[in-house]
Amino acid sequence: MKRNKFYILSLSALLTIGLIACEEKKQQTDNEADTFQEKNAKNFSKQVNLPNKRQVKLVGDATNASANWMAFTTAKNEIERINNFTLQEVVNNSNNLFRSIQELQDSIPKQFQEIPIKARLNVLLTKAHLLEAEANKQRPTAGKIDTLSFELYNEFENLKIQLNEVFLKSVDDLDFELDERIRKQDSLAQLQKESTAN
């Protein structure tokens, strides 16, 4: 009988210790989850970091040609908003960014049907897709969202460079203009020489 009491007391003590340990572990896990959520909330409330932010201005002809390209205007507005977004706002708008860039790629005007522009749009769409995929993860990483936001912003600026290049004069055109100016200057110099000689 004493033995049975000893076993019962020992078993009761072990069960009590086990239950207390499980409860403490559950509280610790809950605290870790709260800490992760608090840490994430702080990270995602930070402003998007755009180091070395550059802004490419479209030349006059490129501005005029893109004025009627509504998808470009929409994508431009979406991308420019990244500059003022927090990381959480980027996560919330990642789908809009992706759709606007997809529409941009699907509606290229004839003037911009150039291989470098199409390639740049493919890169831009890939970056938008990566950003959307990261944003849609169950636990997105603030660092990746920040990096992908910067890359997307940069790629859009690179697209504007490509759009400008469509309207830049070729080297042959510049050579012709230079030759024309030199010819005019030579003829003016010749006329001055003749007028001073008389």
Confidence (pLDDT) at 109: 93
Q: Compute the average pLDDT of residues 38-59.
A: 83
The rounded distance, in Å, linking the Cα atoms of 150 and 144 is 10
Domain contains 50: yes
Residues of the domain holding 129: 45-167
Tell me the mean pLDDT in the region 121-136.
95
Q: How confident is the model at residue 169 (pLDDT cuts 50, 70, 90)?
A: low
**pLDDT band, residue 35 (cuts 50/70/90):** low
Q: Per-residue pLDDT for 93 more than 80?
A: yes
CATH number of the domain bearing residue 133: 1.20.120
43: CB partners within 8 A, 6+ apart: 87, 142, 143
**177: in domain:** no
Q: Give mean pLDDT, residues 12-38.
A: 61
- Per 3-state DSSP, the chain is made up of helix, strand and coil in percentages (nearest 5) of 80, 0, 15
Task: Please state which of the ranges 21-30, 43-52, 70-79, 82-91 shows the lowest mean pLDDT.
Answer: 21-30
Is residue 185 a part of any domain in this protein? no
| Mean pLDDT of the region 186-193 | 69
Asked if the structure places residue 9 within a domain, the reply is no
Q: Given a cut of 80, is residue 144 above it in pLDDT?
A: yes
Q: What is the pLDDT of residue 51?
A: 79
CA 68, 152, 128, 99 dihedral sign is negative
Number of domains in the chain: 1
Which residue type does 170 have?
A: S
Residue with the bigger pLDDT between 45 and 170: it is 45
Structural domain contains residue 128: yes
State whether the Cα torsion 36-42-47-49 is positive or negative: negative
CA 24 to chain centre: 44
Q: Is residue 55 part of a domain?
A: yes
Residue with tokens 């007028």: 195
Q: Where does 82-170 have alpha helices with state H?
A: 87-106, 115-135, 142-167
Residue 13 belongs to some domain of the structure:
no
Across the chain, what does the average pLDDT equal?
Answer: 82
CA distance 192 to 187: 9
For residue 79, being part of any structural domain is answered with: yes
pTM over 0.75: no
**Res. 114 pLDDT band, cuts 50 70 90:** very high
pLDDT score recorded for residue 39: 74
